[in-house]
Structure 1
Amino acid sequence: MTWVYDSRLYDTKFQASCRMARLEDAALASSIPCRLISIFQTSSGRYGVKMLVVHDSSESERRSK
């Protein structure tokens, strides 16, 4: 499992939650094996979105061939 961070930071928690909702919809519509999507706050007070992506062992075997 790996954390994948969104490339942008937001000024408000509301903006980050809107982005999180879009990422949840995209993860459901696609084949992204996402376990968790959450909001985090940086030490500067800005907000970001991160996803916990599960790596399938069969997928890593396909990449190595």
Structure 2
Amino acid sequence: MTWVYDSKLYDTKFEASCRMARLEDAAEASSSNARYLSVFQTRSGRYGVKILLAQDSSESERCSK
């Protein structure tokens, strides 16, 4: 599993939460392999969204060969 970080940081936790909700909706609609979405805070006090992706079985087979 791999963490993927959204490319933008937000000034408020609310803005990051709204972005996370939109990403959840998009993941459900596209049946992507996003397992977990979370809001995180940087040391500078800004907020971002990170996504935990699950590997496909076909992807793990390719990596193991």
Fold conserved between structures, TM > 0.5: yes
Distance in 1, matches of 2:6 and 2:38, equals 11
- Aligned-residue offset at 1:57: 2.2
1:59 has 2:22 as partner? no
**1:9-28 to 2 correspondences below 5 Å:** 9-28=9-28
Query: Any gaps of 5 or more consecutive residues in structure 2?
Result: none
1:35 has 2:35 as partner? yes
Q: Paired residue for 1:45?
A: 45
* One-letter code aligned to 1:43: R
* One-letter code aligned to 2:10: Y
Distance in 1, matches of 2:60 and 2:31, equals 15
Query: Any gaps of 5 or more consecutive residues in structure 1?
Result: none
Structure 1 residues 13-22 or 26-35, which shifts more? 26-35
Structure 1 residues 24-33 or 52-61, which shifts more? 52-61
- Aligned-residue offset at 1:59: 3.2
Give the percent of matched residue pairs that are identical in Structure 1 and Structure 2: 76
Secondary structure in 2 matching 1:49 = strand
How many residue pairs get aligned? The number is 65
* One-letter code aligned to 1:52: L
Distance in 1, matches of 2:44 and 2:15, equals 16
Which 4+ runs in 1 deviate beyond 2 A? Answer: 59-63
CA RMSD of aligned residues (A): 1.9
- Aligned-residue offset at 1:61: 4.1
